[in-house]
């Protein structure tokens, strides 16, 4: 899959830079064109001559080539690239990327690049687990960058722990898998619902739930980063989208969400129903603020909202894939599977409120996926972005068969 791909390999000043000779060699062997960019410190660890010889291109490090005065355009490089790999990525470069400190050619190119970015951190274990590094890596993830987690093992300091740059063979494998996945998702249209809905009681009060929208937004970013065209129908949330190929439709109520989804449905290849839709709305919304009475309490008459997932299940074509969510508090597996059947979903993602750090508001989730083919895929507790990655992997398998 790497044949003919334009890869920028950004090397920073860590001891693992020596592995980049092998990495460059493997990428070239796989048929890629490689442009190496080094930070000034990286040149202390490995000679540019080694890398320019292996890549067949002069290594870029400065904004200007000293003897000719030729300007190295970070914008052109950013547009040329099909992927950018930063390996090894030091704590310093990760920090600069996270905060836009464009004081060298590599970070400047990173900020200009439109292509997917892969970051392979490598550093000492204490630097790796410092809250500042942890937060900066999370920030990169939130920009849609792919983190190639460092491995555990003996480090240059002779300490043993997490911080070894992933081996070049595995970095090439990650890229190869990414580009094969991309083939299926590129140009596919995915409709996603996210967040809660808000149902008015009167002009100042409402019924809603604790959904933050984080899982649905992570799914939107994941699909978009694989080249899909995403329509995100979002209930009231404070989140922002990062990828410019996500078209966002903001709604408030379940009825508005239903109407937006049903209108877009025919144009989409897949529909992911991630929103926590209020099951009921108030029948007669008061047009004035309901006053507090001394001896009586108001009675709210509720009426059912449309079940959007079910309506999608009834209306969808055989070539469309639909995915639902089930947030359960008890009898999890049975409830989730019966929802999948009732709503005619291809697969359902179940999370239990009994699991710690899963579900509403938090940044992590732990899910089990049930498919209509009887598969059960149990996941670990991980970031919602990583959970989104796993879910989209399953979705992709369905889309490749349609
Ligand atoms: O039945 P329950 O609400 O637990 O089902 C959850 C699944 O159904 C989720 O995928 C949710 O987005 C979807 N749903 C919906 N419209 C509703 C209620 C739930 O799309 N009114």
The domain spans of the chain are: 6-182, 186-401
What distance in Å separates the CA atoms of residue 264 and residue 111, rounded to the nearest whole number? 33
Global confidence as pTM: 0.72
Residue 325 C-alpha to ligand 1 middle, in angstroms?
A: 7
Distance CA 202, CA 135 (A): 41
Six-digit token string for 307:
């079940």
Nearest residue CA, atom 5 of ligand 1?
A: 326
Give 307 Cα–ligand 1 centroid separation in angstroms: 6
Please work out whether the CB of residue 308 comes within 6 Å of at least one atom of ligand 1: yes
| Of 161, 18, 190, 159, residue with least CA distance to 87 | 18
| Burial group, residue 169, by CB count within 10 angstroms (0-12, 13-18, 19+) | exposed
* Ligand 1 in reach of 323 Cβ (< 6 A): no
CB 305 less than 6 A from any atom of ligand 1: yes
Q: Ligand 1 pocket check: which of 192, 305, 308, 395 to mutate, most ligand atoms within 8 Å of Cβ?
A: 308
Residue to substitute in 324, 353, 391 for testing ligand 1 pocket (most ligand atoms within 8 angstroms of CB): 324
Alpha carbons 216 and 195: distance in angstroms, whole number? 7
Topology agreement, domain 6-182 and domain 186-401: yes
213 touches ligand 1 (CB under 6 Å)? no
| CA 310 / ligand 1 centre spacing (Å) | 8
Task: Exactly one of 209, 243, 333, 344 is catalytic; name it.
Answer: 209
Give exposure, 355-394, as e/b (b: 16+ Cβ within 10 Å): eeebbbeeebbbbbbbbeeeeeeebebbbbbbbbbbbbeb
The pLDDT value recorded for residue 340 is 97
Contacts with 68 (C-beta within 8 Å, 6 or more apart), sequence order: none
φ, ψ for residue 227, nearest 5 deg: 95, 5
Ligand 1 touching residue 395 (CB < 6 A): no
Residue nearest to atom 17 of ligand 1 (CA): 307
- What pLDDT tens digit does each residue of the chain (402 aa) get? 899 999 999 999 999 999 999 999 999 999 999 999 999 999 999 999 999 999 999 999 988 776 777 777 878 888 899 999 999 999 999 999 999 999 999 999 999 998 999 999 999 989 999 999 999 998 998 888 989 989 888 888 888 888 899 999 999 999 998 888 767 888 999 999 999 999 999 999 999 999 999 999 999 999 998 889 999 999 999 999 987 789 999 999 999 999 999 999 999 999 999 999 999 999 999 999 999 988 999 999 999 999 999 999 999 999 999 999 999 989 999 999 999 999 999 999 999 888 877 777 788 889 999 999 999 999 989 888 889 999 999 999 999 887
Q: Does 324 sit in the ligand 1 pocket, CB within 6 Å? A: yes
Is residue 209 annotated as part of the catalytic site, yes or no?
yes
Residue 68 and residue 101 in contact, taking contact as beta carbons nearer than 8 Å:
no
CATH superfamily of 6-182: Flavin prenyltransferase-like (3.40.50.1950)
pLDDT of res. 234: 98
User: Could you confirm whether domain 186-401 is CATH 3.40.50.10300?
Assistant: yes
Q: Please, are residues 113 and 78 in contact by the beta-carbon 8 Å criterion?
A: yes
Residue 293 CA, chain-centre distance (Å), reads 49
- Partners of 164 in beta bridges: 151
- d(CA 203, ligand 1 centre) in Å: 26
pLDDT of residue 66: 67
Q: Are 95 and 110 in contact (CB under 8 A)?
A: no
Is the separation of the CB atoms in 30 and 9 below 8 Å? no
| Nearby residues of 131 by Cβ (< 8 Å), 6 or more positions away | none
Q: Write down the residue that tokens 């992590």 correspond to.
A: 364
């Amino acid at each position: 899959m790497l044949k003919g791909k334009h890869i920028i390999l950004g090397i920073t000043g860590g001891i693992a830079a020596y592995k980049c000779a092998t990495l460059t060699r493997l990428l070239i062997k796989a048929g890629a064109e490689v442009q190496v960019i080094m930070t000034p410190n990286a040149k202390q660890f490995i000679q540019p001559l080694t890398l320019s010889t292996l890549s067949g291109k002069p290594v870029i490090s400065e904004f200007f080539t000293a003897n000719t005065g030729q300007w190295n355009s970070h914008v052109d490089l950013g547009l040329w690239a099909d992927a950018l790999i930063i390996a090894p990525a030091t704590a310093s470069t990760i920090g600069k990327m996270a905060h836009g400190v464009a004081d060298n050619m590599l970070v400047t190119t990173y900020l200009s690049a439109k292509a997917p970015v892969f970051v392979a951190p490598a550093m000492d274990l204490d630097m790796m687990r410092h809250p500042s590094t942890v937060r900066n890596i999370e920030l990169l993830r939130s920009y849609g960058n792919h983190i190639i987690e460092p491995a555990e093992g003996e480090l240059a300091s002779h300490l043993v722990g997490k911080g070894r740059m992933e081996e070049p063979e595995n970095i090439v494998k990650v890229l190869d898998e990414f580009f094969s996945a991309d083939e299926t998702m590129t140009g596919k249209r995915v409709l996603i619902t996210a967040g809660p809905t808000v149902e008015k009681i009167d002009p100042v009060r409402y019924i809603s739930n604790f959904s933050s929208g984080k899982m649905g937004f992570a799914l939107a970013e994941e699909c978009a980063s694989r080249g899909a065209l995403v329509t995100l129908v979002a209930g009231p949330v404070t989140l922002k989208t990062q990828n410019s190929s996500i078209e966002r439709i903001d709604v408030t109520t379940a009825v508005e969400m239903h109407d937006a989804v049903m209108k877009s449905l025919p144009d989409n290849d897949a529909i992911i129903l991630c929103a926590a839709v209020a099951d009921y709305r108030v029948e007669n919304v008061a047009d004035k603020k309901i006053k507090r009475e001394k001896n009586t309490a108001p009675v709210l008459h509720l009426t059912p909202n449309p079940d959007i997932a079910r309506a999608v299940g009834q209306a969808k074509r055989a070539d469309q894939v639909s995915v639902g969510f089930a947030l359960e508090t008890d009898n999890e597996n049975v409830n989730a599977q019966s929802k999948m059947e009732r709503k005619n979903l291809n697969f359902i993602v179940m999370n239990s409120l009994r699991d710690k750090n899963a579900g509403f508001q938090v940044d992590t989730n732990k899910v089990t996926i049930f498919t209509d083919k009887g598969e059960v895929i149990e996941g670990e507790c991980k970031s919602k972005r990583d959970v989104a990655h796993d879910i989209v992997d399953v979705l992709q398998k369905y889309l490749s068969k349609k």
